[in-house]
């Protein structure tokens, strides 16, 4: 037990899939897990452990943003001895090369966040995903015939970014092709504890044209991404 997770230690698998949204966590558990059991529900963060094709896996929501992901990934790695976390999320595109529905495999996560500095006095501004997990995510996407773009992204504290010069600046300086809100804390904590983490994303918002995916398309596209994550889990 931790302040934010009430599961017993053996009730959390060594591999955890994290969507942001608790509702999506339940949808994933219902669709993909066998023998799913609710193992924690602190603050409504419904967390399920079951098996997928024989591999034990936990589905746990991260909530939105670096602070929320920071808390849950810290507690999972440190107190539950979790080895690997794959975040499945949505993102806004900064690039004309990424359309609604496209899939992104994150390489580096740039952030202005003080998370790593405040927690560990680390001043790096880019945190990296695990090459090991990324290899399998990429291979699985290929096997399922799904195109996935490998990219650096911006991990922002701000959903409603209204500085119109920012996207181009971050694209030019760090190659950020899209924007989300959790990976920096996840990748930093994985590195801190000697664990592995990765993130795949579905583009749901185009921050250049202002287009936003309908909720029906969001749900379908997101399920493709989750299938890639689940099929990768059995190889890791
Ligand atoms: N910004 C940040 N995170 C996001 C976005 C966005 O536009 N869309 C989905 N996740």
DSSP string, 71-131: HHHHHHHHHS---EEEEEEEEEE-STT--TT-EEEEEEEE----HHHHHH----SEEE--H
Q: So what's the pLDDT on residue 127?
A: 98
Question: Do 132 and 70 meet the contact criterion of CB atoms below 8 Å apart?
Answer: no
The total number of residues written for the chain in this structure: 236
205 is catalytic: yes
Q: So what's the pLDDT on residue 116?
A: 98
Instruction: Kindly report the protein residue whose alpha carbon is nearest to atom 9 of ligand 1.
Output: 91
Please tell me the distance between residue 44's alpha carbon and the centre of ligand 1 in angstroms: 22
Q: So what's the pLDDT on residue 192?
A: 98
Q: So what's the pLDDT on residue 38?
A: 98
Ordered by where they begin, the domains of the chain are: 9-233 (3.40.50.1580)
Please tell me the distance between residue 145's alpha carbon and the centre of ligand 1 in angstroms: 25
Q: So what's the pLDDT on residue 220?
A: 77
Question: Do 200 and 182 meet the contact criterion of CB atoms below 8 Å apart?
Answer: no
Please tell me the distance between residue 153's alpha carbon and the centre of ligand 1 in angstroms: 11
Each of the 236 residues of the chain gets a pLDDT tens digit; together they read 999 999 999 999 999 999 999 999 999 999 999 999 999 999 999 999 999 999 999 999 999 999 999 999 999 999 999 999 999 999 999 998 899 999 999 999 999 999 999 999 999 999 999 999 999 999 999 999 999 999 999 999 999 999 989 999 999 999 999 999 999 999 999 999 999 999 999 999 999 888 888 888 777 778 999 999 999 999 99
Q: So what's the pLDDT on residue 217?
A: 79
Tell me, rounded to whole angstroms, the distance of Cα 38 from its chain centroid: 21
What is the rounded CA–CA span in Å between residue 231 and residue 111?
29
Q: Tokens 């990219």 appear where?
A: 151
Q: So what's the pLDDT on residue 46?
A: 97
Please list, in sequence order, all residues whose beta carbon lies within 8 angstroms of the beta carbon of residue 43, skipping any fewer than 6 positions away. 4
Please tell me the distance between residue 55's alpha carbon and the centre of ligand 1 in angstroms: 31
- Candidate list 97, 131, 172, 205, residue with the active-site label: 205
Instruction: Kindly report the protein residue whose alpha carbon is nearest to atom 10 of ligand 1.
Output: 91
pTM (predicted TM-score): 0.96
Q: So what's the pLDDT on residue 53?
A: 97
Please list, in sequence order, all residues whose beta carbon lies within 8 angstroms of the beta carbon of residue 229, skipping any fewer than 6 positions away. 17, 86, 88, 137, 200
Interior/surface letters 159-196, b for 16+ CB within 10 angstroms, e for the rest: eebeeeebbeebbeebbbbbbbbbbbbbbbbbbbbebb
Q: So what's the pLDDT on residue 201?
A: 98
Instruction: Kindly report the protein residue whose alpha carbon is nearest to atom 7 of ligand 1.
Output: 92
Ligand 1-lining residues (CB < 6 angstroms): 90-92, 156, 159, 179-181, 204-205, 207
Instruction: Kindly report the protein residue whose alpha carbon is nearest to atom 6 of ligand 1.
Output: 92
Ligand 1 atom nearest to 156, measured from its CA: 2
Interior/surface letters 76-114, b for 16+ CB within 10 angstroms, e for the rest: bbeebebbbbbbbbbbbbbbeebebebbbbbbbbbbebe
Q: So what's the pLDDT on residue 35?
A: 97
Ligand 1 atom nearest to 207, measured from its CA: 7
């Amino acid at each position: 037990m931790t302040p934010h997770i009430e599961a017993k230690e053996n009730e959390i698998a060594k591999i955890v899939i994290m969507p942001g949204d608790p509702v999506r966590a339940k949808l994933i558990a219902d669709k993909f897990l066998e023998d799913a059991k609710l193992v924690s529900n602190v603050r409504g963060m419904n967390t399920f452990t079951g098996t997928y094709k024989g591999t034990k896996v936990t589905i746990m929501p991260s909530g939105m943003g670096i602070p929320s992901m920071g808390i849950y990934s810290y507690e999972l790695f440190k107190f539950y001895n979790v080895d690997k976390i794959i975040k499945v999320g949505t993102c806004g595109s900064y690039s004309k090369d990424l359309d609604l529905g496209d899939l992104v495999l994150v390489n580096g996560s740039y952030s202005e966040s003080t998370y790593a500095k405040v927690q560990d006095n680390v001043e790096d501004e880019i945190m990296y995903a695990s090459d090991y997990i990324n290899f399998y995510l990429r291979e699985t996407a290929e096997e399922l015939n799904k195109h996935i773009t490998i990219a650096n992204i911006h991990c922002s504290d701000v959903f409603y970014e209204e500085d119109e010069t920012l996207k181009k600046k971050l694209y030019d300086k760090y190659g950020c092709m899209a924007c989300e809100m959790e990976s920096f804390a996840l990748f930093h904590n994985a590195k801190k504890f000697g664990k592995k983490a990765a993130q795949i994303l579905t583009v749901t918002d185009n921050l250049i044209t202002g287009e936003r995916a309908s909720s029906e398309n969001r749900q379908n596209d997101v399920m493709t991404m989750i299938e890639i994550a689940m099929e990768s889990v059995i190889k890791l």
